[in-house]
Amino acid sequence: MNEEPMPGQPIVEVVLPTYIMNPAEDEKFYQSQVKAIAERILKEELEGKEYEENEAKLWSITICDRVREHVKEECNIPRYKVVVQVSLGQMKDQGVRVASRCLWDTNTDNYASVSYKNHTLWCSCMVFGIYTE
């Protein structure tokens, strides 16, 4: 009997549960590793730049993408969902407070927060690692 799907039929992929409830010790989200990666990328992307309103959106998207890619490549966290949030603004003697609230498992999930500033701009980067069972 031919098991090939008919044209136009959606292919249904069956994923069986693994019953792995916690990451192995070498597969955890370590805040210090992620912080070092985020700090390095913020410095590479923003050092020597002056704030430009038209470029800020592109810079923040680029930083998000690079941080997410490098965290997934350099940290051994295969079962983690990595979420990156970047806030970028112009330095004008204002006060800024960036905060977040999360409902998660404190044994497996974690975050890292880094900031960068120069004479014309400030940037806050938050990286969240959420373990997917």
Closest CA to 57 of 84, 82, 86: 86
The torsion defined by the Cα of 47, 90, 34 and 68, in degrees rounded to 10, comes to -90
Q: Which residue has the tokens 């979420």?
A: 83
Number of H helices, E strands in the chain: 2, 3
Domain boundaries, the chain: 25-131
**Which pLDDT does position 5 carry in this prediction?**
62
Cβ count within 10 A of residue 27: 15
Closest CA to 62 of 90, 41, 37, 92: 41
Along the 133 residues of the chain, how does pLDDT read in single tens digits?
566 666 778 888 887 877 888 899 999 999 999 999 999 999 999 999 999 999 999 999 999 999 999 999 999 999 999 999 999 999 998 888 989 999 999 999 999 999 999 999 999 999 999 998 7
Q: How far is CA 12 from the centre of its chain?
A: 29
Please tell me the pTM assigned to this model: 0.84
Instruction: Please give the CATH architecture assigned to the domain spanning 25-131.
Output: 2-Layer Sandwich (3.30)
